[in-house]
């Protein structure tokens, strides 16, 4: 923990003026008033992904859907192969189909090309649903996606759902919302009112915001099965069109990734009366607390007893390994820059489990309540920032002497250039970080990267004290 409270003025030196309100120091003069959930400042190279990417994150794991990107080929580079979502069945989602718009289409419009692409794909793949993603160019030229999709749906007798995700219409959060609207359209036509919860499914839940990276949804589903809870639908990890349509039959929605799925949970509460709760299966503390909260919701003493047994068994099993890593990692310093606020909150707790001090924490799409919690749990002196750019991340990691950055694909090169260890906590990874097994994987990965001998030979090594060029 940093004892001295840094001077806000010092931190604000050399920052772009409009960015100052999006950065604060815990314990500094400004008290927990962080600007967030706003558009990026023009001219800043924000680390945020675009609207289309936000939508694709949420919908891509629908395994039996055709994902058709209406735009230039570059936007379609986002495919399964750069994501870690696993499927137990269809592999159709691994494709990223594109209308490959060219200059002529931009001048004369791309609607006919889009209609032809849908016809061809439906004929070839016989999928139950097509998601058609709008990209920046489509927003600019004004193709009427709604009309093309409606006509194609009538022609083929399946759902063809436009996703209004032109890259410039907002930030990544707008993409999450566009994807949730598309999911609601997928569910709604067959479920105008909530079907009664079947008495045999009274203990069933929908699990929102788990994208089954490296099989994480399967791990959590198994924990829940062991305590007597049935997972009705996962949004959207390893999901299929027809399971998603059963979502209104669950008794409870639990949300792991609140940034992307809180809106869907709120809408499902309004439409179908399903209550929701936030959970987190990242780290030992949050996994145990989440299992207890779910069991408490159902007011079932047997379930609560089974949850306690599972927590005890799993905690005892991982304790020796966790203690071994903790002994080697104590008092190292970590920086966090991730997509959503809830993940950042869990990561602070996870680093504490390992004896690591968090010196910087930020997110792309955190909300005010997330930053209030982050501010509350962070140590004095921690830099807290929203929608950062690479120059800010470099500066604060260097000033704070971070040994490790946890982030996504865009942060990895920055960490390596600074001679700092890196953990990928985004959708690109291929090993699970959820649940008890994930907590040990995380600890092992932190240990292996922080304690790697490579940092002795990297420029700027030695606790991230970057010497500059
Ligand atoms: S939608 Fe726009 S910002 Fe997003 S990848 Fe495509 S061109 Fe880039």
CATH number for the domain including 362?
3.40.50.1980
> d(Cα 172, Cα 339) in Å, to the nearest integer?
9
Q: What separation in angstroms does the CA of 275 have from each of 236, 237, 296, 374?
A: 18, 21, 14, 25
Are 21 and 34 in contact, with CB atoms under 8 Å apart? Answer: yes
Whether residue 343 sits in one domain with residue 231: no
Mutate to test the pocket of ligand 1, among 47, 56, 69, 75 (most ligand atoms within 8 A of CB): 75
* The two three-digit tokens of residue 220, written as one number: 């959590």
Q: What separation in angstroms does the CA of 276 have from each of 46, 55, 77, 291?
A: 32, 22, 34, 14
Are 277 and 297 in contact, with CB atoms under 8 Å apart? Answer: yes
461 part of a folded domain: no
Whether residue 15 sits in one domain with residue 101: no
Whether residue 253 sits in one domain with residue 359: no
Whether residue 115 sits in one domain with residue 221: no
* The two three-digit tokens of residue 439, written as one number: 């907590």
Mutate to test the pocket of ligand 1, among 40, 96, 136, 163 (most ligand atoms within 8 A of CB): 136
Residue length of the chain:
469
43 part of a folded domain: no
Burial of 376 (0-12, 13-18, 19+ CB in 10 A): exposed
> d(Cα 449, Cα 455) in Å, to the nearest integer?
9
Whether residue 269 sits in one domain with residue 147: no
What confidence score (pLDDT) does residue 201 get? Answer: 58
In the numeric block, the tokens 């997110």 are attached to 363
Whether residue 448 sits in one domain with residue 325: yes
Whether residue 406 sits in one domain with residue 294: no
> d(Cα 128, Cα 428) in Å, to the nearest integer?
27
Whether residue 212 sits in one domain with residue 104: no
For 256-311, give the DSSP string: S-HHHHHHHHHHHHHHH---EEE---SSHHHHHHHHHHHHHHTT-HHHHHHHHHHH
Whether residue 233 sits in one domain with residue 107: no
**How many separate domains does the chain show?**
3
Are 349 and 287 in contact, with CB atoms under 8 Å apart? Answer: no
> d(Cα 261, Cα 198) in Å, to the nearest integer?
25
According to DSSP H, which parts of 88-244 are helical?
A: 103-108, 111-125, 136-141, 145-156, 172-187, 216-227, 241-244
Task: Give me the residues paired with residue 386 across strands.
Answer: 363
Which 3 state secondary structure label does DSSP give 231?
Answer: strand
Residue owning the nearest CA to atom 5 of ligand 1: 75
Q: What is the pLDDT of residues 96-147, one digit of tens each?
A: 899 999 999 999 999 999 999 999 999 999 999 999 999 999 999 999 999 9
Whether residue 384 sits in one domain with residue 339: yes
Boundary residue ending a domain (190, 207, 229): 190
41 part of a folded domain: no
Residues near ligand 1 with C-beta < 6 Å? 50, 52-53, 71, 75, 135-136, 167
Strand order in the sheet with 129-134: 97-98, 66-70, 129-134, 159-163
CA torsion angle 374 380 385 391 (round to 10): -150
355 part of a folded domain: yes
Per-residue pLDDT of the chain (469 residues; tens, 9 = 90+): 444 444 455 555 667 788 889 999 998 877 768 999 888 888 788 888 889 999 999 999 999 999 999 999 999 887 777 788 999 999 999 998 999 999 999 999 999 999 999 999 999 999 999 999 999 999 999 999 999 999 999 999 999 999 999 978 888 889 999 999 999 999 985 555 555 555 445 889 999 999 999 999 999 999 999 999 999 999 999 999 999 999 998 999 999 998 899 999 999 999 989 999 999 999 999 999 999 999 999 999 999 999 999 999 999 999 999 999 999 999 999 999 998 898 999 999 999 999 999 999 999 989 999 999 999 999 999 999 999 999 999 999 999 999 999 998 889 999 999 999 999 998 878 899 999 999 999 999 999 999 999 988 876 554 444 433 3
pTM value is 0.90
Whether residue 303 sits in one domain with residue 179: no
451 part of a folded domain: yes
**C-alpha 55 to ligand 1 mean position (Å):** 12
408 part of a folded domain: yes
Are 51 and 58 in contact, with CB atoms under 8 Å apart? Answer: no
**C-alpha 52 to ligand 1 mean position (Å):** 6
88 part of a folded domain: yes
Sign of CA dihedral 431, 433, 438, 441: positive
1 part of a folded domain: no
Whether residue 167 sits in one domain with residue 119: yes
Question: Which structural domain, as residue segments, surrounds residue 381?
Answer: 8-33+318-456
Residue owning the nearest CA to atom 7 of ligand 1: 136
Mutate to test the pocket of ligand 1, among 135, 141, 179 (most ligand atoms within 8 A of CB): 135
Boundary residue ending a domain (132, 157, 190): 190
């Amino acid at each position: 923990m940093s004892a001295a409270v840094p001077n806000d003025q010092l931190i604000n030196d050399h920052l772009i003026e409009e960015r100052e309100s999006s950065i604060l120091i815990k314990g500094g003069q400004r008290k927990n008033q962080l600007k967030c959930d706003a558009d990026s400042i023009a001219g800043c190279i924000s680390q945020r992904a675009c609207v289309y990417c936000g939508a694709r994150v949420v919908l891509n794991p629908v395994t039996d859907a055709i994902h058709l990107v209406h735009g230039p080929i570059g936007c379609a580079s986002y495919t399964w192969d750069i994501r870690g979502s696993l499927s137990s069945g269809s592999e159709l989602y691994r494709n990223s189909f594109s209308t490959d718009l060219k200059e002529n289409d931009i001048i004369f419009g791309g609607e006919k090309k889009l209609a032809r692409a849908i016809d061809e794909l439906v004929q070839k793949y016989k999928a139950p649903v097509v998601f058609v993603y709008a990209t920046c160019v489509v927003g600019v030229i004004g193709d009427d996606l709604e009309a093309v999709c409606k006509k194609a749906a009538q022609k083929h007798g399946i759902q063809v759902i436009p996703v209004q995700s032109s890259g410039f219409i907002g930030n990544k959060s707008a993409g999450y919302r566009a994807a949730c609207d598309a999911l609601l359209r997928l569910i709604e036509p067959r479920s105008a009112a909530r079907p009664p919860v079947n008495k045999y499914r009274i203990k069933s839940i929908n699990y929102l915001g788990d994208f089954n990276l490296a099989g994480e949804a399967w791990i959590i589903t198994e924990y829940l099965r062991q305590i007597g809870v049935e997972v009705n639908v996962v949004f959207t990890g390893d999901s299929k069109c027809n399971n998603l349509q059963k979502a209104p039959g669950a008794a409870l929605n639990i949300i792991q990734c609140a940034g992307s799925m809180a809106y869907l949970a709120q809408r499902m509460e309004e439409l179908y009366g399903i209550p929701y709760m936030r959970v987190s299966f990242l780290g030992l503390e949050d996994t145990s607390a989440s299992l207890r909260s779910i069991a408490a919701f159902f007011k079932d003493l047997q379930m609560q007893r089974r949850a306690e047994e599972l927590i005890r068994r799993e905690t005892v099993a991982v304790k020796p390994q966790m203690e071994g890593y903790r002994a080697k990692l104590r008092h190292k310093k970590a920086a966090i820059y991730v997509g959503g606020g809830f993940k950042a909150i869990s990561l602070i707790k996870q680093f504490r489990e390992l004896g690591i001090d968090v010196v910087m924490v930020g997110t792309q799409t955190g909300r005010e309540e997330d930053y209030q919690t982050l501010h509350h749990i962070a140590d004095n002196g921690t830099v807290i920032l929203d929608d950062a750019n690479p120059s800010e991340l470099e500066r604060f990691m260097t000033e704070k002497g971070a040994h490790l950055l946890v982030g996504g694909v865009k942060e990895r090169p920055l960490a390596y250039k600074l001679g700092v260890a890196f953990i990928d906590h985004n959708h690109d990874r291929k090993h699970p970080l959820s649940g008890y097994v994930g907590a040990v994987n995380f600890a092992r990965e932190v240990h292996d990267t922080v304690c790697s001998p490579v940092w002795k030979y990297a420029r700027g090594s030695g606790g991230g004290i970057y010497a500059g060029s």
